Amino acid sequence: MGEIKVSPDYNWFRSTVPLKKLQYPVYWDHLEFCDGFRKLLDHLQLDKVHLFGASLGGFLAQKFAEYTHKSPRVHSLILCNSFSDTSIFNQTWTANSFWLMPSFMLKKIVLGNFSSGPVDPMMADAIDFMVDRLESLGQSELASRLTLNCQNSYVEPHKIRDIPVTIMDVFDQSALSTEAKEEMYKLYPNARRAHLKTGGNFPYLCRSAEVNLYVQIHLLQFHGTKYAAIDPSMVSAEELEVQKGSLSLSQEEQ
């Protein structure tokens, strides 16, 4: 359904699951979400943050960066299996009717995007986990997220062109079409690209080691600045060089 994570420091990606995870409330439009997320950052006393967003979370992260462009609150973006225009789902005409639908019908819509063919055990575990998460959501939560996912909207790139971006996607089957991926590349021509050979819709769960490595490399560019997200006491430059070398070898093998 889309994940969005805030990284004011290095700790959140040292383990697969963050120590604290916030569940955002029911929002029915992107402006309402952005205003609520801004209030959250204010409450946490966070000036600017690095955002990791997957699927809908990545789209909302872009919209928040766009929303705050006059007084920037986003220092960088990592967009995983994300998109820049909701029209790719061809559901904009139904977006305003999700609130009327019963839970079972909304769940069926979401589950239709999950992989149905054979997958490896880690991907199967990730799908099972997300199905459990789906079952825990109420009708209004499901309807609001589908509304945000399909409501007619697109990212205005000129408002966030100065934000460093890493685009992360997978080569195997996912809910994101090839056209949507190409559109992201066009939107962010200077973005770093992080490709995973496999991972499906949830690489941050089933390929967490690779995803965390890409996140570390993305954040390395801010080392030594006011908005550094890597604590020097927790990781050495030599360690990151070894990790980058391992990643390069992995990419060559792919």
Per run of 10 residues, the mean pLDDT along the chain (length 254 residues) is: 50 35 84 96 93 94 96 95 90 86 91 78 91 91 93 93 94 87 93 92 92 92 82 61 55 48
Q: What local confidence, expressed as pLDDT, does residue 192 receive? A: 94
CATH number for the domain that contains residue 178: 3.40.50.1820
What residues have CB less than 8 Å from 252, skipping those under 6 apart? Answer: none
How confident is the model at residue 72, as a pLDDT?
93
* Model pTM score: 0.83
At 114 the pLDDT is 78
160 within a domain of the structure (yes/no): yes
What is the token pair recorded at 124? 């199967």
**pLDDT value at residue 17:** 36
- Say if 43 falls within a structural domain: yes
> Is 167 part of a structural domain of the chain?
yes
Q: Specify the number of domains making up the chain.
A: 1
Is there a domain that residue 80 lies in?
yes
Q: Is residue 111 part of a domain?
A: no
Q: Which two tokens stand for residue 134?
A: 């789906």
Distance CA 140, CA 159 (A): 31
| Domain assignment present for 246 | no
- Domain assignment present for residue 145? The answer is no
Is 115 a member of any domain? no
Query: What does the alpha-carbon distance between residue 157 and residue 251 come to, in Å, rounded to a whole number?
Result: 29
Q: What is the pLDDT of residue 61?
A: 96
What domain range includes position 87? 8-93+154-221
